[in-house]
């Protein structure tokens, strides 16, 4: 006997003696209240139906379940009855076996739902994970208690604290799924057959309440050693430690007490500023792909072959991104030896990945085979996308684009990897400005996730959409910028760097500045970052726009310019703000005397500078310039600036980006602090510390940066 009834987000049917509860809440089966209510309603129906002997929980969509509905977190619905933890305990105590049918991604509460079932069958392509830690929280519906019981402490700890999903084979080997099916079209039928086999073999219902965590083979100091192993990567983050404490509890406590501990620590995480920051970034990354005035239904152009002009560090790194996802790449250089050097560097980078077990040797060969070198532009005639990554000089770039304009097929997308030059000027040098765009990769291009997409005035809508989709395909985080000096990232980096250089003249050492910013959560402080990027790179960039900087401040970046004249370019020459010998990095005793000398030349007072002043003058400059970038329309939304800074400049994810941080500490406080420095720093303060008009306006209206986005 078959009968089916449907809720808006859950389908229900009974096939003979198997009840099928099918999640149907696109796009990700988020376990919001309606879905929880639907699951509970049909779980009760199946439990009370005497004809039903087993229950299958499946999904109608491409994935199984993306977890709790994150949009509920800011309201009260997340705990509305049935709350997820309680619902899963009910399922766990079912008298009829429940089989979770994992057809695709099962993440967070989605995997927790599966773990509360009696059995789990996964499609070969499914992936399962508990990524809550990336949202500043922890698995709050039993994941920290059930996964250690089903998969062992080491696998559970690695999955929960890294947030990284595992594939079906790993899940099977770890013991938290029971079987894998290898064909998607017959997957539900296979799950129903599996349910029937379980019934025929009188397979028991199970509950983690009857299991304890097996610690017999756990290394004696496992948790201590694990904490040490993640210390660097999780520095400053709150949630990882809470995750570990839940798992330690699971090793000692019966299930219900462990669940109580998990709920307690989950609540502590949920109310933390870090959780707000990390959840802000989750939605910010997705918002960045929505372009005002461009319909999301705009069809992207096909990108199935790519060419990179220039086989240097950037060009080689860019090429790897495409080869990594199976897209053939033509790498063009002018001379054979340069081309060979570029290809050898790519192979060396892949060799390192093989040594680190990130890829296999066959994968290395597969990827290298996808990268073909050439010395002639004619080889590019059939490419769908060409990315120029040559020297940062407008004349050279124009020559390259003239050649591309002559040989590339109509409709090919012509991109420049420029980091500051005017994309409109480059586009105007071709007969097809509508096909020209900026694709600013960040070094190392095969590692850094951020891709700044620079939209020219004439760039066609479908070129924008095509490059956003392409960015996602090569696992980058795309953010669209308008055309303006430094676009978004380097534009707001400039005043941030300016303050660091000025603070040194006023008496703060490179080490003090680095420590303050590192302790705030930056991956690297400014002097160290400038040494890494190259003091010569910054110097040359400044010379291209001297009036913009030196014209307003004769002491602008003076300490950096002094080091440049001394040919101390940073790590690349073994000496910059620090002295580098191999991996050893030492403070350079000559820096502060040099800075004091320059200070005297410019009548700059040298004094004791507090950590607080260093932090405010650098970070608030990011915020102030970000407000200007917003106001000029270079950035569409403040969260785009946060996405850029957290994915391209090492800004701490647990702070959420400079603009989110400003909303958290209050824009009025930011404006008042800027005005204070405007007064106390004399002419320098008056020149550089005027609050951006948008900041002043928002304060006057009692609004936040976030309110701008929701308004638009
Ligand atoms: N809640 C609410 N909205 C979500 C969501 C979620 N969990 N996941 C995705 N979305 C939205 C997303 O913002 C976008 O919206 C649309 O769905 C498509 O997403 C108790 C408390 C599942 C791998 O962290 O990793 O469970 O922009 O573009 O590329 O322990 O979404 O279209 O308006 O990313 O196909 C834990 C987060 C939650 C998974 C699909 N789960 N999501 O990727 O689509 S906390 C996660 C993802 C939790 C429990 C705890 C991905 C995806 P819009 P998308 P996709």
CA distance 300 to 564: 45
* Atom 21, ligand 1: residue with shortest CA distance: 68
Owner of token pair 């705009």: 298
What pLDDT sits at residue 548?
Answer: 82
- For the CA of 69, the nearest atom of ligand 1: 1
> Contact, 53 vs 96, CB < 8 A?
yes
Protein residue with least CA distance to atom 25, ligand 1: 66
Q: By C-alpha distance, which of 432, 427, 438 is closest to 489?
A: 438
Q: Which two tokens stand for residue 70?
A: 């994150």
Q: Determine the residue of 66, 87, 283 to mutate for testing ligand 1's pocket, defined as the one with the most ligand atoms within 8 A of the Cβ atom.
A: 66
Span 51-67, average pLDDT: 96
Q: Quick one: which atom of ligand 1 is closest to the CA of 70?
A: 1
pLDDT in tens, 188-216: 999 999 999 999 999 999 988 899 999 99
Ligand 1 centroid to Cα of residue 29, in Å, is: 9
Choosing from 90, 92, 93, 112, which is the catalytic residue?
A: 112
**Ligand 1 center to 467 CA (angstroms):** 22
Query: Residue whose CA is closest, atom 42 of ligand 1?
Result: 66
Query: What's the rounded mean pLDDT across residues 90-99?
Result: 97
Establish whether the linkage from the previous residue to 444 is cis, with ω within 30° of 0: yes
Condensed to tens digits (0 to 9), the pLDDT of residues 106-143 reads 999 999 999 999 999 999 999 999 999 999 999 999 99
**DSSP conformational letter for 238:** S
**C-alpha separations of 679 from 368, 623, 683 in Å:** 59, 19, 9
Q: Looking at the CA of residue 85, tell me the nearest atom of ligand 1.
A: 20
- State pTM to two decimals: 0.94
Listed residue (585, 589, 578, 595) closest to 527, CA to CA: 578
Whether the Cβ atoms of residue 634 and residue 536 lie closer than 8 Å to each other: no
pLDDT one-digit tens code per residue, 484-520: 999 999 999 999 999 999 999 999 999 999 999 999 9
pLDDT of residue 5: 54
* Span from the CA of 195 to the centroid of ligand 1 (angstroms): 29
- Cα of 238 vs centre of ligand 1, distance in Å, is 22
CB 180, CB 122: distance < 8 Å: yes
> What is the structure's pLDDT at 6?
59
Alpha-carbon span 603 to 585, nearest angstrom: 31
Within 13 Å and on the Cβ side, how many CA atoms surround 91? 32
The Cα 620–Cα 507 span in angstroms is 19
Ligand 1 atom with the smallest distance to the CA of 107 is 41
Q: What digits encode the pLDDT tens for the residues 390-401?
A: 988 899 999 999
Greater confidence, 184 or 402? 402
Nearest residue CA, atom 10 of ligand 1? Answer: 28
Q: Is the pLDDT of residue 75 over 50?
A: yes
Residues with CB under 6 A from ligand 1: 27-28, 30, 63, 66-71, 84, 105, 107-109, 112, 131-132, 135, 137, 139-141, 143, 283, 286
| 3-state class percentages of the chain: helix first, strand second, coil last, to nearest 5 | 50, 15, 35
C-beta atoms surrounding 137 within 10 Å: 29
Atom of ligand 1 nearest to the CA of 130: 36
Catalytic: 664? no
Residue 304 CB coordination number (10 Å): 11
Calculate mean pLDDT across residues 164-182: 96
CA of 372 to the centre of ligand 1 (A): 37
Residue 712 has pLDDT above 50, yes or no: no
591's tokens: 């820096």
C-alpha span between 90 and 93 (Å, rounded): 5
List, in order, residues 6 or more apart from 542 with CB less than 8 Å away. Answer: 549, 550, 556, 557, 561
| Catalytic residue (choose from 92, 132, 262, 506) | 132
Rounded to the nearest integer, the mean pLDDT of the chain is: 95
Q: Whose CA is nearest to atom 54 of ligand 1?
A: 286
Ligand 1 pocket test target in 67, 269, 282, 469 with most atoms within 8 Å of CB: 67
- Residue 112 annotated in active site: yes
Ligand 1 centroid distance, CA of 112 (Å): 15
Q: Best substitution site from 28, 85, 126, 166 to test ligand 1's pocket, by max atoms within 8 Å of Cβ?
A: 28
Question: Across residues 270-277, what is the average pLDDT?
Answer: 96
Nearest to 330 by CA among 389, 303, 370: 370
Q: Among 113, 55, 92, which residue's Cα sits nearest to residue 210? A: 92
Task: Spell out the domains of the chain, with CATH numbers in brackets.
Answer: 2-270 (3.90.226.10), 306-481 (3.40.50.720), 489-711 (1.10.1040.50)
CB-CB contact of 327 with 304 (8 Å): yes
Distance 165 CA to ligand 1 centre (A): 14
Pocket test for ligand 1, best of 26, 62, 64, 70 (most atoms within 8 A of CB): 70
Q: Which two tokens stand for residue 178?
A: 């029971």
Q: What angle do CA 222, 224, 228 make, to 5 degrees?
A: 110
**How many Å lie between the centroid of ligand 1 and the Cα of residue 654?**
19
Query: 522-566 pLDDT, tens per residue?
Result: 989 999 999 998 999 889 888 878 888 888 888 999 999 999 999
pLDDT for residue 19: 98
Specify the residue with its C-alpha closest to ligand 1, atom 14.
Answer: 286
**pLDDT-derived band at 298, boundaries 50, 70, 90:** very high
| Ligand 1: centre distance to CA 520 (Å) | 29
Ligand 1: centre distance to CA 230 (Å): 25
* DSSP states of 288-355: TT--TTS-TTPPPPP---EEEE--SHHHHHHHHHHHHTT--EEEE-SSHHHHHHHHHHHHHHHHHHHH
Contacts within 8 Å (CB) and 24+ apart, 148-152: 148/213, 148/247, 148/250, 148/251, 149/208, 149/211, 149/212, 149/213, 149/250, 149/255, 150/115, 150/175, 150/176, 150/208, 150/211, 151/175, 151/176, 152/214
Contacts of 246 (CB under 8 A, 6+ apart): 138, 139, 144, 145, 160, 258, 261, 262, 265
441: region left, alpha or beta (phi > 0 left; psi from -120 to 50 alpha) = beta
Dist CA 348 CA 350 (whole Å): 5
Rg (CA), the chain: 28
Separation of 66 CA from ligand 1 center, angstroms?
Answer: 5
**Cis status, amide bond into 142, omega within 30 of 0:** no
pLDDT tens-digit map of 306-352: 999 999 989 999 999 999 999 999 999 999 999 999 999 999 999 99
Q: Which atom of ligand 1 is nearest to the CA of 472?
A: 29
Residue nearest to atom 47 of ligand 1 (CA): 66
User: What values do phi and psi take at 325, rounded to 5?
Assistant: -110, 20
Which of 25, 27, 39, 83 maximizes ligand 1 atoms within 8 Å of its Cβ, making it the mutation to test the pocket?
A: 27
Closest ligand 1 atom, CA of 139? 30
- Using CA positions, which residue lies closest to atom 39 of ligand 1? 66
Name residues whose C-beta falls within 8 Å of residue 297's C-beta, 6 or more positions apart in sequence: none
**Which is the closest atom of ligand 1 to the Cα of 282?**
13
Could you give the percent of the chain with pLDDT greater than 90?
91
Res 710: pLDDT: 59
Q: What is the pLDDT of residue 243?
A: 98
């Amino acid at each position: 006997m078959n009968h089916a009834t449907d809720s808006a987000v859950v389908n229900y049917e009974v096939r003979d003696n198997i009840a099928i509860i099918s999640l149907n809440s696109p796009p990700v089966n988020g376990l919001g209240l309606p879905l929880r209510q639907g699951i509970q309603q049909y779980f009760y129906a199946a439990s009370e139906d005497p004809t039903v002997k087993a229950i299958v929980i499946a999904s109608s969509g491409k994935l199984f379940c993306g977890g709790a509905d994150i949009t509920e977190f800011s309201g009260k619905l997340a705990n509305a009855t049935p709350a997820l933890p309680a619902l899963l305990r009910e399922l766990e105590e079912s008298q009829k076996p429940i089989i979770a049918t994992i057809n695709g991604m099962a993440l967070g509460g989605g995997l927790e739902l599966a773990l509360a079932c009696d059995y789990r069958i996964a499609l070969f392509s499914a992936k399962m994970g508990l990524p809550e830690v990336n949202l500043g929280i922890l698995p709050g519906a039993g994941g920290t208690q059930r996964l250690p019981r089903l998969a062992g402490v080491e696998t559970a700890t690695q999955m929960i604290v890294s947030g990284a999903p595992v594939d079906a084979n790993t899940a099977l080997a770890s013991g938290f799924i029971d079987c894998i099916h290898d064909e998607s079209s017959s997957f539900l039928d296979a799950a129903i057959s599996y349910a029937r086999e379980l019934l025929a073999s009188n397979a028991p219902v199970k509950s983690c309440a009857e299991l304890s965590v097996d610690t017999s083979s756990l290394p004696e100091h496992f948790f201590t050693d694990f904490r040490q192993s993640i210390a660097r990567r999780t520095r400053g983050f709150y949630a990882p430690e809470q995750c570990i404490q839940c798992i330690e509890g699971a090793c000692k406590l019966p299930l219900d007490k462990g669940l109580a501990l998990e709920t307690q620590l989950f609540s502590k995480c949920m109310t933390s500023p870090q959780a707000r920051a990390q959840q802000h970034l989750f939605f910010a990354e997705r918002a960045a792909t929505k372009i005002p005035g461009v319909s999301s239904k705009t069809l992207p152009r096909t990108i199935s072959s790519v060419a990179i002009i220039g086989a240097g560090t950037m060009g080689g790194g860019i090429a790897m991104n495409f080869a990594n996802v199976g897209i053939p790449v033509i790498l063009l250089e002018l001379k054979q030896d340069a081309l060979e050097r570029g290809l050898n560097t790519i192979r060396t980078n892949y060799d390192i990945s093989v040594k680190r077990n990130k890829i296999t040797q066959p994968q290395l060969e597969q990827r290298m085979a996808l990268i073909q070198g050439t010395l002639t532009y004619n080889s590019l005639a059939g490419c769908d996308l060409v990315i120029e990554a040559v020297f940062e000089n407008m004349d050279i770039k124009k020559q390259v684009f003239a050649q591309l304009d002559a040989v590339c097929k109509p409709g090919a997308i012509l991109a420049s990897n420029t980091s500051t030059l005017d994309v409109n000027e480059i586009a105007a040098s071709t007969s097809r400005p509508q096909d020209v765009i900026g694709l600013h990769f960040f070094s190392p291009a095969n590692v850094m996730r951020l891709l700044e997409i620079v939209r020219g005035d004439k760039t066609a809508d479908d070129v924008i959409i095509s490059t956003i989709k392409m960015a996602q395909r090569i696992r980058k985080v795309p953010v669209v910028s308008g055309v303006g000096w430094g676009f978004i990232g380097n534009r707001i980096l400039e005043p941030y760097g300016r303050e660091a250089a000025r603070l040194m003249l006023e008496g703060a050492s490179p080490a003090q500045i680095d420590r303050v910013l590192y302790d705030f959560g930056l991956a690297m402080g400014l002097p160290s970052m400038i040494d890494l990027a190259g003091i010569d790179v910054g110097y040359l960039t400044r010379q291209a726009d001297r009036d913009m900087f030196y014209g307003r401040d004769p002491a602008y970046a003076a300490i950096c310019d002094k080091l440049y004249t001394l040919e101390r370019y940073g790590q690349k020459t073994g000496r910059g703000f620090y002295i580098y010998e191999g991996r050893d990095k030492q403070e350079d005793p000559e820096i502060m005397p040099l800075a004091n000398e320059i200070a005297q030349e410019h009548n700059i007072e040298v004094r004791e500078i507090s950590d607080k002043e260093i932090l405010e003058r650098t970070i608030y400059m990011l915020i102030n310039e970000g407000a200007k970038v917003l106001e000029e329309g270079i950035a569409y939304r403040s969260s785009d600036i946060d996405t850029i800074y957290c994915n391209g400049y090492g800004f701490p994810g647990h702070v959420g980006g400079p603009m989110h941080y400003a909303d958290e500490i209050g824009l009025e406080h930011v404006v008042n602090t800027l005005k204070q420095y405007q007064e106390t720093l004399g002419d320098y303060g008056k020149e550089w510390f005027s609050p951006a008009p948008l900041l002043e306006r928002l304060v006057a209206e009692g609004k936040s940066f976030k309110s701008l986005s929701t308004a638009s």
